[in-house]
Amino acid sequence: MKKELYFTISLVLVFIVLLSSVKTTQDSYYKYYKKTEENILKSSLDNTYNYRPLRIFNTYTGFETGYGFFGTNVSSEFVISYDLFDNNQKQVDHQIFKLNSNEGSIRFMSLNRVFLDRLTKPEDELFVKYVKIIMQEISKFIYNKYDKKYSVNLKVYLYNFPSLEEYGKGKTNVELYLLDEMSYKR
C-alpha cells in the first residue's frame, strides 16, 4: 500500500512539473511574440492550470516560475544605473539603463552571468579587466547617446533580498548592493 501511495504521489508531481513547464513555455512564447489568439491547447492548459488547488500548490512551491523557488541555475538580476554630469561636475540626470528592443534586452541579460562571476572571481586580474571593458562599452554607448555632452558615472547593483530568517523577522525591503562602478569621459 505504501509503495502504491509513493508511486501515485510521484506520478502526480511529475505531471505537475510537466504541466508547469509546458504552461510557462507557452506563456513566455505568447508574451514575447505578443500573440493573443486562442487555440484548444492554450485554453485546455489555462483551464487545467487554473484549477485552484493546483494553482496554490504551484505558487507555494515556485513551480509556476519554471525553475522552482530555489532554482540553482536561475541567474540573479542586476541593475545598471548611470548619472550624467556636466563640465562643472554638476549632476544633470540619473537613469536606469534600459534597451529599446526585446532582442537587445535578452542579449543584454546574458551579461548577468559576467557580473555574477565577478562576485566569485574578485582576484582574477584578467577577468576584472574584462568586466571593466564591458562597463566601458556600456558607458561609451550612454556617452554617445547624449551627444558626448556629459560624463557618465556607471554603477552596477545586485539585488540583495532578505534571507528567509530576516524575512521571518519582518524585514521585507529589497536593497541594492553596489557591485562595481566606473566613470567615463572622453
pLDDT tens profile 59-87:
777 777 655 444 444 556 788 899 999 99
Check pLDDT > 90 for residue 179. Answer: no
CA geometry: angle at 130 spanning 142 and 100, to 5°?
A: 30
Contact yes or no for 119/75 (Cβ under 8 A): no
Check pLDDT > 90 for residue 41. Answer: no
Provide the 10 A C-beta neighbour count for residue 1.
Answer: 5
Check pLDDT > 80 for residue 49. Answer: yes
Check pLDDT > 50 for residue 16. Answer: yes
Contact yes or no for 64/72 (Cβ under 8 A): no
111-120 and 125-145 helices, crossing angle to 10°? 140
Cell numbers placing 43: 485554453
User: What is residue 108's predicted lDDT score, i.e. its pLDDT?
Assistant: 74
User: What is residue 143's predicted lDDT score, i.e. its pLDDT?
Assistant: 93
Contact yes or no for 84/150 (Cβ under 8 A): yes
Mean pLDDT of 30-43: 79
Whether the model clears a pTM of 0.95, i.e. scores above it, the answer is no
Check pLDDT > 90 for residue 11. Answer: yes
**pLDDT by residue (tens digit) across 115-166?**
777 777 777 888 888 889 989 999 999 999 999 899 999 999 888 877 778 8
Q: Which residue reads 509503495 in cell numbers? A: 3
Mean pLDDT of 1-16: 90
